[in-house]
Amino acid sequence: MNRRSSDSAIKPSALFLSPEAPYPPIGGGPLRSASLLEYLARSYDVHLVTFREAGATDPTVAIPAGKVSQTGVIELPYHSKRAISRLARNATRLVRGAPPLVDRFAGFEPKLQSLLAGNRYDLAIVEHFWCAPYLALIRSHCSRVVLDLHNIESAWYATAARNSGSLRRAALYRFAAASKRLERELLPNFDWLLVASLEDSRRVHELAAGVRVLIYPNALPEMPAPVKSEREEIAFSGNLEYAPNVEAVRFFHSQIWPRLRARNKLKWRIIGKNPHAIASIVGNDPQIELTGFVEDAVTELARAQVAVAPVMSGSGTRVKILEAWAAATPVVSTSLGAEGLGNPIGQLLIADHPRQFASAVERLLDSPEERRRIGCAGRLLYEQRYTWPAAWRSLRALLVETPRREP
């Protein structure tokens, strides 16, 4: 698929390389990528190159009209999701010291070169550290390259390791060390690095002092406040194949849910795609509902009395909290879950111990007034800081260096 816009002669050009499709903007990664691409398309003629799993739908079909002028797709070979297959792949990666997702998206230089052949760009944006090794190839087509770090991979693996069993912990620490070596090697070579939070900015400077870092917060499109239709429910949202979400569900189910389940009418709704990944954890509990994929998580969260974010690993910021704020639904989160969101006093409750977490949820369930107050404060914070237009204000430095071409 190849498209050209009618005004491409008068706009500067940009390459946007992403390992996952930005559209539809559902889920943390696509939402962040789509927000950046939407802003870029206002001033640039954009060439989008993305990856696709073998047999998956063409990711370019969901692109809104007029957002990009060219598209290219790199097809990944089929990888079985069976546990034994994943174990075998990661065992070889451990031996080679190759972080899994960097390895998954590696080795496609010939295909990428063919997609970029004959093109020169004023700016290139690379999404995720997983594609950072393509920097040298991209440099041959563009002098100014930006890397958008959705997470700091070494921190992501290290936090996951701390909460794992001994064998898995050793593997994750090895991947953390391998990621850190790559980060120290590659990050200084980009012109700008985008990160989601001040905490991730500090992590980057520890890895590569002197690099230019811009905090670009995760955000959601502008949306009206949904109608609140509170039911006796608590909610958790996210991609349920994502390892920190699996860990969060396991922690909540084993340590916190037993303290809340005695409320016989209370339901725990788990909202998100890939529910099969946690089905064995939650079992056949009639008070737990797995919704599967939903197009509008905010509307679903508006049904709940409380949203929970019992996150134990990761970096960046949690879109599940932003979605709950947009829904005006009060949130109970761990400290790590709330990391990167500043100091949101009054916009959520923070608890790290299971007993304290359960007590905070019960407190909100028992107090409609406190739910309303905290939910409204979260909604206001979303409107002020975490809409796409609010986040875009931080991106002006990226565009100021590229003058608009004359027709």
**Complete domains list, the chain, with CATH:** 13-220+389-400 (3.40.50.2000), 233-386 (3.40.50.2000)
Whole-angstrom CA distances from 232 to 17, 235, 245, 287 are: 43, 10, 23, 11
Q: What is the pTM of this model?
A: 0.91
| Torsion sign, CA atoms 318, 320, 326, 330 | negative
Tokens 């060390």, located at residue: 177
Pair 196, 386: CB distance under 8 Å = no
Q: Which residue has the tokens 């569900």?
A: 249
Would you report the helix, strand and coil content of the chain in percent, each value rounded to 5? 45, 15, 40
- Nearest C-alpha neighbor of 236 from the set 333, 163, 151, 161: 333
Residue linked to tokens 């050793």 = 170
Residue 27 is encoded by which pair of tokens?
Answer: 């889920």
- N residues, the chain: 407
CB 76 within 8 A of CB 104: yes
Listed residue (311, 315, 118) closest to 218, CA to CA: 315
Name the phi and psi angles at 72, rounded to 5.
-145, 145
Tell me the Cα Rg of the chain: 21
pLDDT tens, per residue, the chain with 407 residues: 344 444 445 789 999 999 999 999 988 999 999 999 999 999 999 999 999 998 888 898 899 988 999 999 999 998 888 889 988 999 999 999 999 999 999 999 999 999 999 999 999 999 999 999 999 999 999 989 999 999 999 999 999 998 888 888 999 999 999 999 999 999 999 999 999 999 999 999 999 999 999 999 999 999 999 988 889 999 999 999 998 999 999 999 999 999 999 998 999 999 999 999 999 999 999 999 999 999 999 999 999 999 999 999 888 889 999 999 999 999 999 999 999 898 788 999 999 999 999 999 999 999 999 999 999 999 999 999 999 999 999 998 776 554 444 43
> Which tokens go with 351?
């608890």
CA gap 48, 187 in Å, rounded: 22
